[in-house]
Amino acid sequence: LYALKAIELIGKSLAKAVNNGSDKEAREDVALANTLSGMSESIGGCTSEHAMEHPLSGKNPKLEHGAGLIMLCEAYYTYWAERGVVDDRMIAMAKALGKTDATKPMDFVDALHDLKVACHVDDLKMSDYGIKEEDLEMYTKMAYDTMGGLFKVDPADMPFEDCLAIYKKAYR
């Protein structure tokens, strides 16, 4: 419930807050979404997307954690949409994000993409932060070695090769 409400508030107000920092109502919605997200994370933990991002920002200190998550999110959620193990959740997340006519898991990925565009972060590239494509296997290994427990929170097993494929798909 908290997570879906946070997604709803982000869908409603994040782009407004980014594009007009003086929009107090939008900023309040984003602040509440942040709080609800923190509560959800405290109760349920994070998934492997965070395990995958931490090596990126850990080895590249100019990369902010949020920017790393943004760069991974479409490839990461496409993976889950294609696996078909959380279809109902992803459809609910798409609707909460504002795609009220969502009927399939990829609608959430499409809504994420639209939000990235609206917030002007759709052009973030790992290569701009010094991340090299040939190092993606190392980052995959680091994700499992340092934060492997987060892969256990995923809705299904994510083999090493699949994780590496997500990095490769997200890489620009």
State residue 93's pLDDT score. 98
Q: How far apart are CA 6 and CA 62, in angstroms?
A: 27
Residue numbers of the chain with a pLDDT score lower than 70: none
The residue ranges of DSSP E strands in 3-153, in sequence order, are: none
pLDDT of residue 58: 97
> For domain 46-170, which CATH number applies: 3.40.50.720, 3.40.980.10, 1.20.1090.10, 3.50.50.60?
1.20.1090.10
Phi then psi for 141, rounded to 5 degrees? -60, -45
**Residue-level pLDDT at 86:** 97
If you search the block for the tokens 């949020």, which residue do you land on? 66
Q: For the chain, how big is the Rg over CA atoms in Å?
A: 16
Residue 40 pLDDT: 95
Residue 114: which residues within 8 A CB-CB, separation 6 or more? none
pLDDT, residue 162, reads 98
What pLDDT is stored for residue 18 in this prediction?
98
Residues in the chain: 172
